[in-house]
Amino acid sequence: MPASAAAVAGGVGTVLLGAALAGGALIYDMGGVWVSVKAKKPGGDNIRLVVPAAAGPVALWLAPKKNIREAAKEARPWLPAIKAAAEELGNCPDGPLVEVTNPHEKVLIAKQGGALVIDVDNPNETVHVSVPLKMVGIIAAQLEAMPDAEAAHGNAVEASESW
C-alpha cells in the first residue's frame, strides 16, 4: 500500500476509534435503566433487564410519531415540573424520598447516585426499577420541544411524521 493510502487509512481508523470511544463514554456517563422482577410463587418468571439510558431518547426519536405526539400532548402540562424535578433531584443528597409500608406491601422511592430508584415488595413479587435522572430530563425536554401537531396543522396530526 502506498504511503499516502496508509496515512489516509490510519486517519480514518483514528477518527472511527475516536467516535466509538466518545459514543461509549456518552453511554457510560448516562448510566443504565435497570428493571428486575422476581416472582415469589413457584414457577413464576424472573426478569432482569438492563438497557443503556442513551437508548431512551433514541427510542423516543424512533417511535411512531403519532403515538409520541399524543403522549407529549397529554404530558405537556407536567413536563416543566418533571424537568425541574429531575434536575433538582440530581443536586439532592442520596436517600429515601417516599416510603410506604403496610401489612401487604412495601414501596420505597429513593434517590441513589444519579438515579431514581423504585423498589416494591409484596407477597407476589419483588420489583426493582432504577432510572437515571439525566435520561428523565432529556426525554422530558424532547417531549416538551415537540410541536403540538394539532396547533401547527389544524387537525391534520398525521400530515408530517417529523418533528
26 and 36 inside one domain: no
* pTM > 0.95: yes or no: no
Is a pLDDT exceeding 50 seen at residue 163? Answer: no
Range of the domain at 134: 32-159
113-152 pLDDT, tens per residue?
999 999 999 999 999 999 999 999 988 988 888 876 554 4
pLDDT, tens digit, for every residue of 44-54? 889 999 999 88
Same domain, 11 and 72: no
Cell numbers 413464576 correspond to 44
Residues 38 and 104 in one domain: yes
- pLDDT confidence of residue 24: 54
**pLDDT beyond 80 at 8:** no
Determine the pLDDT at residue 155: 46
The DSSP bridge partners found for residue 36 are 48, 128
Residues 68 and 117 in one domain: yes
**Do residues 38 and 25 share a domain?**
no
What mean pLDDT comes out for the span 84-113?
A: 94
How many structural domains are present in the chain?
2
Specify the pLDDT at position 10: 62
**59 lies in the same domain as 91:** yes
Q: What is the pLDDT of residues 13-57, one digit of tens each?
A: 666 655 555 555 545 556 889 999 999 988 888 999 999 988 888
| Whether residue 13 is found in the same domain as residue 92 | no
Residues 51, 6 share a domain? no
Cβ burial 49-74 (10 Å sphere, 16+ → b, else e): eeebbbebbeebeeeebeebbeebbe
Residue 134 has a CB neighbour count (10 Å cut-off) of 20
14 shares its domain with 71? no
Judge if 22 and 67 occupy the same domain. Answer: no
Do 67 and 129 lie in one domain? The reply is yes
